[in-house]
Amino acid sequence: MTRFSAWNVFRNGLSGQKGWDRQWRDVEPKADYDVVIVGGGIHGLATAYYLAKKHGLKNIAVLEKGWIGGGNAGRNTTIVRSNYFRPGNREFYEHSLKLWENLSHDLNYNVMFSQRGHVSLLHSPGAVDAAARGYNTLRLTGSDAEIWGLEELKQEIPHLNYAANARFPILGAAVQRRAGTARHDAVVWGYARAADQLGVDIIQNCEVLGVRRDQGRITGLDTSRGAIGGSKIGFSVAGNTSRLWDMAGLGTLPIESHKLQAFVTEPLKPLLDHVVVFGVGGTHFYISQSDKGGMVFGGDLDWYKSYAQRGNLPIVQDVSECALSILPCLGRVRLLRHWSGVCDMSMDGSHFICKTPLDNLYLNAGWNYGGFKAGPGAGWFFADLIANDRPHEIVAEHDLKRFERGYNIDERGAGPDPKLHG
């Protein structure tokens, strides 16, 4: 396997790119594995990578029903941040952010993590205080966080809407400088390539059709490429979790699948150097500019449950209004494409990395809006859970029983209504 470096890019430029191998092998599934991860997104691939790298496991497969990274890994707006403040979430996302910071070197794959800063606009003194509560917690728990006043914000981002007639005049911003964006597909391929080098079998076009059980254990999976056995099996399939859960005969989950749209404009020369976010007057919006130049943005869920990966007009209109409300210079800029992904929205807006009613089945799900940024951390903690058969203390409360205990991890305080946890 050729190492990725400027030197090898140069050499291959001279040789007509002959020296590059497949980035991951195309393998036939074996009959049995020590660990089978279902779901070839960032989470599944990262889990396999950390199982092999950190825990030294050898015989691992990742099953993907389509092509790796074809779900939410390739459909999100690529924002990476750790500004969550509930206990557990705070430490989890901080750990994930730290993994992000060295991910390109770790994987020898440029995932283009751009720590350009995440700027949440604030529009009222009350909003400043509410943000300060979270951002103070960030600082006290060892992360970076700042509150910018209007003057500082104007210097950093000169062409936001500072007009007096703005419906919600901007007062300042809460900022996490280490946050930013990354190239989402590269993260998928980087984990796949690195996992593959450690011997992980990545099996595409392998859809799970049934779950084999023996009493309280899961013994294997019936797939579109035959039966595959696993001593330990992990589900990491986001919006499709309920289907697998049902196949395993485990009943219901505190999860609903909703769709979230994403949007990109035609490419432009650099216009916005940060991730800018706001939520005021019942709206929710985030925008950044990709390295290719497209303005990438999104907002609320479509509000109704859906497994269809396409969106509807009201949200298209809503996010456009939001975009122009803070960047009125985008009026003539054109929307190039909009698409959508299926989000596994949980009952308190937080995730599950936990054991299940079956001894050797493990669950990683309930990622709401947070799945992309969580990817490295989710892989790390899920691998830790599978390898050690016990949750790490940071995710100890992120189990399915927490609602029974009355321990909701609710960042928004929205309550048990999945659609409200955007």
Partner 1 sequence: MIRINCPYCGERDHSEFTYGGDGSVKYPALDASMEDWLQAVFQRENIRGVQTESWHHVNGCRMWLLVERDTMTHEIHSVRVAHPGLQQALEDPS
Partner 2 sequence: MTARRLDAGGRIDRSHSLKFNWDGRLLRGFQGDTLASALMANGENLIGRSFKYHRPRGIMSAGVEESGALVTVGAGAKRDANVKATTCELFDGLAASGQNAWPNVRHDLGAVSNLFSRFLAAGFYYKTFMGLPPFEWGQGTGWWMKYEKIIRRAAGMGTASREPDPDAYEHAHAFCDVLVVGAGPAGISAALTAVWAGLDVVLVEQDFEPGGDYLNQAGPDADATRAKLLAEIVDADVRVMTRTTAFGLYDHGVAGLLERLPDQQIQNNKYLPRQRFWTLRAKQIIVAAGALERHIAFGNNDTPGVMTAAAARTYLNRFGVLPGKQIILSTNNDSAYGPALDLATAGASVHLLDARPDLPVDLVNTVAASGVRVTSGTAALKAVGGKQITRLETAAWTGTGWQSAGSENCDLVLVSGGWSPVVNLASHLSTKPVWDQDNCCFLPGETAAHIHMAGSAAGIWQTRDCETSGRVAGAAAAKALGKTAPDISKPEVGGWSHAISPLYEVTVPGKKLKSFVDPQHDVTADDVRLAHQEGFVSVEHLKRYTTLGMATDQGKMGNVIGMALMGEALGKDISDVGTTTFRPPYTPVSLGALTGRNKGDHFRPLRRTPMDKWNLDNGATMTEAGLWRRPWYFARSGETIKEAYIRETTTTRHDVGLCDVTSLGKIAVQGPDATEFLNRIYTNPFAKLPVGKARYGIMLRDDGIVMDDGTTWRLSETDYFMTTTTAHAAKVMVWLEELLQMRWPDLKVHVTSVSEQWAGCAVVGPKSRAVLEACVEDAALVSNDNLPFMGVVETRLKNGIPCRIARISFSGEMASEVYVPSDYAPAMMDMLWQAAKPLGGCLYGMEALGALRIEKGHVTGTELDGRVTIDDAGLGKMASPNKHFIGSVLRQRPAMMAQNRPRLVGIFPKDRDQTFNAGTILCRADEVSGHGEGWITGVTYSPAFGHWIGIGFITGGYQAWEGQTVVVADPVRRENVDVEIVSPHMYDPEGGRHHG
- Give residues in contact with partner 1 (CB under 8 A): 240, 242-243, 251-257, 303-308, 312-314, 347, 403-404, 416-419
Instruction: State the Cα–Cα distance between residues 295 and 290, nearest whole angstrom.
Output: 6
Counting residues that bind partner 2 (by CB under 8 A) gives 122
Instruction: Point out which residues pair with 46 in neighbouring strands.
Output: none
Cα angle 270, 266, 319 (rounded to 5 degrees) comes to: 95
**Quick one: which of 10, 45, 348 has its CA closest to 191?**
45
Rounded to the nearest whole angstrom, what is the least distance from the CB of residue 230 to partner 1 in the complex? 24
195 contact partners, CB below 8 Å, separation of at least 6: 24, 45, 48, 49, 52, 60, 62, 202
Which CB, 251 or 270, lies closer to partner 1? 251
Instruction: State the Cα–Cα distance between residues 175 and 131, nearest whole angstrom.
Output: 10
Q: Which does 166 bind (CB under 5 to 8 A by kind): partner 1, partner 2, none?
A: partner 2
Q: List the end-to-end C-alpha distance of the chain, in Å, as a whole number.
A: 41
Interface pick for partner 2 out of 237, 323, 358, 386 (rule CB under 8 A)? 323
Rounded to the nearest whole angstrom, what is the least distance from the CB of residue 308 to partner 1 in the complex? 6
| 10 part of the interface to partner 2, by CB under 8 A | yes
Rounded to the nearest whole angstrom, what is the least distance from the CB of residue 196 to partner 2 in the complex? 9
Instruction: Point out which residues pair with 230 in neighbouring strands.
Output: 33
Contact (CB, 8 A) for 140 and 134: no
Binding-site string for partner 2 from residue 261 to residue 300, where x marks contact by CB under 8 A and - marks none: ----xxxxxxx---------xxx-----x-xxx-------
Rounded to the nearest whole angstrom, what is the least distance from the CB of residue 214 to partner 2 in the complex? 34
Rounded to the nearest whole angstrom, what is the least distance from the CB of residue 74 to partner 1 in the complex? 20
Instruction: State the Cα–Cα distance between residues 371 and 73, nearest whole angstrom.
Output: 8
Contact (CB, 8 A) for 265 and 70: no
Burial class of residue 273, CB neighbours in 10 A (0-12, 13-18, 19+) = middle
Rounded to the nearest whole angstrom, what is the least distance from the CB of residue 253 to partner 1 in the complex? 7
**Quick one: which of 215, 196, 216, 194 has its CA closest to 204?**
196
The interface with partner 2 within residues 192-221 (CB under 8 A) comprises 204
| b/e 179-214 (16+ beta carbons within 10 angstroms → b) | bbbbbbebbbbbbbbbbbbbebbbbbebebeebbbe
Instruction: State the Cα–Cα distance between residues 315 and 303, nearest whole angstrom.
Output: 9
- Contact range with partner 2 by CB under 8 A, out of 223-231, 235-243, 250-258, 316-324: 316-324
Rounded to the nearest whole angstrom, what is the least distance from the CB of residue 119 to partner 2 in the complex? 14
Rounded to the nearest whole angstrom, what is the least distance from the CB of residue 193 to partner 2 in the complex? 9
Rounded to the nearest whole angstrom, what is the least distance from the CB of residue 367 to partner 2 in the complex? 20
- Contact range with partner 2 by CB under 8 A, out of 33-41, 154-162, 361-369, 383-391: 154-162
Q: Which does 329 bind (CB under 5 to 8 A by kind): partner 1, partner 2, none?
A: partner 2
Contact (CB, 8 A) for 189 and 23: yes
| 396 part of the interface to partner 2, by CB under 8 A | no
| 31 part of the interface to partner 2, by CB under 8 A | no
The interface with partner 2 within residues 88-107 (CB under 8 A) comprises 90, 101-102, 104-105
Which CB, 79 or 361, lies closer to partner 2? 79
**Phi/psi of residue 93, each to 5°?**
-70, -30
Instruction: State the Cα–Cα distance between residues 83 and 200, nearest whole angstrom.
Output: 33
| 165 part of the interface to partner 2, by CB under 8 A | yes
| 139 part of the interface to partner 2, by CB under 8 A | yes
Interface pick for partner 2 out of 29, 39, 41, 74 (rule CB under 8 A)? 74
What is the chain's alpha carbon radius of gyration, rounded to the nearest angstrom? Answer: 22
Which CB, 98 or 243, lies closer to partner 1? 243
